[in-house]
């Protein structure tokens, strides 16, 4: 029995080499100058550069708005799809995932083109709409899964005990579906902060998000500053992940 734990060894080595080491390298490069000496200048540059800071703030803002929008639109959709009385066919669920098989860049270009044709100026509004578009399936699917997995007898018991449908939803269904909402948030929030191509297409390069400056720095061989910007993102990921871990303990 014990011997078989060794079957995970190749993957463990792979993870150390291709996940842990690369992340450590982000930290190392972020704390070095071009000639390999230790410095805090890269991080200092980020915290004193008005442009980077405002791009960063805007990215967080757009990501929060996009996440909230995806929850508001996606939750009812997931709820309807998971309700056997309202939706009987599994094909409808497949239809929601299907667009993900079409290249995301191509879909985004078509969306931007549709806006232009409708005479809508490309800007923050179109950016938000297009982002919501791209990420909505990532919100719907985990919530749908969670609702589907849920033991229906809790809701029925609440109903039998005299709860109104609204109370059943607020006190039983919603709290039980929160893990799904959280995984949806993880799949929408950080990716929104870090997208680069999608935001460029949707605003015709008028609005830069954080991902774009990381990409520009790396591509212009400013590896150390690019790594410092990535490190800032890594820290936020660590914080949000820890926040998420604490959430289930409360309930």
| 109 touches another protein by CB under 8 A | yes
CB of 21 to another protein, least distance (A): 6
| 2 touches another protein by CB under 8 A | yes
The helix/strand/coil state of 38 is: strand
How many Å apart are CA 108 and CA 201, to the nearest integer? 7
Among 41, 49, 96, 169, binds another protein (CB under 8 A): 96
The binding track of 181-220 with respect to another protein, each residue x by CB under 8 A or -, is -----x---xx-xxxxx--xx---------x--xx--x--
Q: Give, rounded to a whole angstrom, the gap between the first and last alpha carbons of the chain.
A: 36
When computed from its CA atoms, the radius of gyration of the chain, rounded to whole angstroms, is 22
How many Å apart are CA 76 and CA 154, to the nearest integer? 20
| 121 touches another protein by CB under 8 A | no
**Please, which of residues 141-180 interact with another protein by CB under 8 A?**
none
CB of 45 to another protein, least distance (A): 17
**Please, which of residues 17-76 interact with another protein by CB under 8 A?**
18-23, 25-26, 29, 73, 76
How many Å apart are CA 197 and CA 3, to the nearest integer? 46
The helix/strand/coil state of 186 is: helix
Question: Are the CB atoms for 62 and 192 separated by under 8 Å?
Answer: yes
- Applying CB under 8 A, the span of 64-72, 154-162, 174-182, 228-236 interacting with another protein comes to 228-236
- Applying CB under 8 A, the span of 37-45, 53-61, 154-162, 233-241 interacting with another protein comes to 233-241
The DSSP letter of residue 102 is S
Q: Name the residue nearer to another protein (CB basis): 12 or 47.
A: 12
């Amino acid at each position: 029995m014990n011997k078989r734990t060794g079957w995970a060894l190749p993957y463990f080595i792979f993870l150390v080499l291709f996940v842990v080491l690369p992340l450590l390298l982000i930290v190392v490069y972020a704390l070095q100058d071009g000639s390999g000496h230790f410095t805090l200048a890269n991080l200092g540059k980020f915290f004193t550069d008005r442009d980077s800071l405002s791009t960063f703030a805007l990215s967080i803002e757009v990501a929060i708005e996009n996440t909230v929008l995806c929850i508001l639109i996606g939750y009812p959709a997931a709820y309807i799809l998971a309700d056997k009385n309202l939706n009987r066919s599994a094909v409808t669920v497949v239809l929601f995932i299907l667009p993900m098989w079409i290249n995301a860049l191509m879909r985004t270009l078509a969306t931007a083109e549709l806006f232009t044709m409708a005479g809508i100026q490309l800007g923050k509004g179109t950016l938000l709409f297009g982002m919501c578009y791209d990420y909505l399936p990532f919100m719907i699917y985990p919530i749908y899964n969670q609702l589907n997995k849920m033991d229906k007898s809790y809701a029925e018991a609440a109903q039998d005990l005299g709860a109104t449908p609204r109370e059943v939803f607020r006190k039983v269904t919603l709290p039980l579906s929160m893990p799904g909402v959280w995984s949806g948030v993880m799949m929408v929030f950080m990716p929104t902060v870090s997208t680069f191509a999608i935001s460029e297409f949707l605003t015709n390069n008028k609005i830069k998000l954080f991902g774009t400056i990381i990409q520009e720095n790396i591509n212009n061989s400013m590896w150390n500053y690019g790594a410092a910007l990535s490190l800032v993102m890594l820290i936020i990921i660590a914080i949000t992940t820890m926040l998420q871990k604490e959430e289930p303990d409360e309930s």
